Every structure is written in C-alpha cells, then in structure tokens.
Structure 1
C-alpha cells in the first residue's frame, strides 16, 4: 500500500509539473523580422517562430525546419485577445 501511495504521489508531481499555465500581457508583442534559412533538404516544412513565457515576459523563439509527421500538418500558433489581455496559443501538429 505504501508503494502504491508513493507511485501515485510521484505521478501527481509529474503531471502538475508538466502543466503549462496561461500568461496574459496587456499588449501583444511585436514579432521580430526573421529571415529563415533555406531548407536542409527536400520534404522539410518551416515551423514558424513561437512565443514562450520566460522571466515574467514573453520571449520570441526563432523558427526552424522540421520533417513533417506522416498524416499531420503544422498549425501555426496565434495570439488571442480577451478580457485579461493577450495570450499566446502554441502551434502544433494536427490532422
């Protein structure tokens, strides 16, 4: 029983640590001008730059080339404006 409780607590800690919160800002950050390099080879797709929360603010992370997942396409991230301000929704692979 003690082992079961330890496993459940460890799983809970991992689950909570992997949660990503929603962070709001009063003004939408301006995306920097960034020229992406040429594709490293045929079949690659460009993943647009993303905004991430770090040090109490949003910081821009440059885009990169990636091989697409079979049967999936890349959905670009976007800003959403609501009553609390602007919030970034991350991009990801989807069908």
Structure 2
C-alpha cells in the first residue's frame, strides 16, 4: 500500500513539473506613456535571449525602457499572437529638445505596403 501511494505521488509530481502558471489577460506594455519630455536619457536596450515561441506562429515583441516618473524600468519582451493585416512598431525613445519622449509600441495596419517586419 505504501509503495502504491508513493508511486501515485511521484507520478503526480512528474506530471505537474511541466506545468507553468502565467497570468491571464493582455501582456504588460509598461504602463502609461508620459507625454511630457523626460530629462533623463534612457539606458541602452538590454540584450534579450529569445528562445523558440511557445506557440508556433507567435511573434516576439521586444522589451523596452519605460519611464516610471522617477526612473527608467525595463519591461521585458514577450511572445504574442500576430494580428493579420498589421505589423508591430516597437517602442522607441526620441530626442525632444533637451529631453526625451517615449513613443509606445503598437500594432500598425498594413496599408498595402506588402512588407513584413519581424522585430527582434
């Protein structure tokens, strides 16, 4: 009886060892985008090591530096399902006078350009 119980426990542990719990809902894009210029330049982008997608066909949305109001925080990249007829335009920081402005990443409609961008 003890051996059978141990075998059941080990089988359950092995089955659950591959289980990954992830939050549901939309991916985190880093919160609000400040409309006012930020006087602190963003650090260089981090190197992200991207493995294969968890689901075939998903696209990688690269990470970016987001301004929290007091400092830049890194928002890691993530895999996302593609949107037919759209391409991903990545987050970027642009010089604005003496400061910097954050242009948030977004899905942009393909307007018959026929081009496909795979942002990594």
Structure 1-normalised TM-score?
Answer: 0.68
Judge conservation of contact 1:25–1:87 (CA < 8 Å) in 2: no
- Which of the two has higher C-alpha Rg? 2
- Give the Cα separation in 1 of the matches to 2:102 and 2:69: 16
Q: Which sections of structure 1, spanning at least 5 residues, go unmatched? A: 1-18
Change (3 A) 1:54 1:26: closer
Superposed, which structure 2 residues align to 1:1-95 within 5 Å? 20-22=33-35, 23-54=37-68, 56-95=70-109
* Count of residues in correspondence between the two structures: 77
Report which of the two has the higher share of helix: 1
Gaps of 5+ in 2: 1-31, 110-120
Runs of 4+ residues over 2 Å off in structure 1: 19-23, 25-28
**Structure with the larger strand share:** 1
RMSD: 1.9
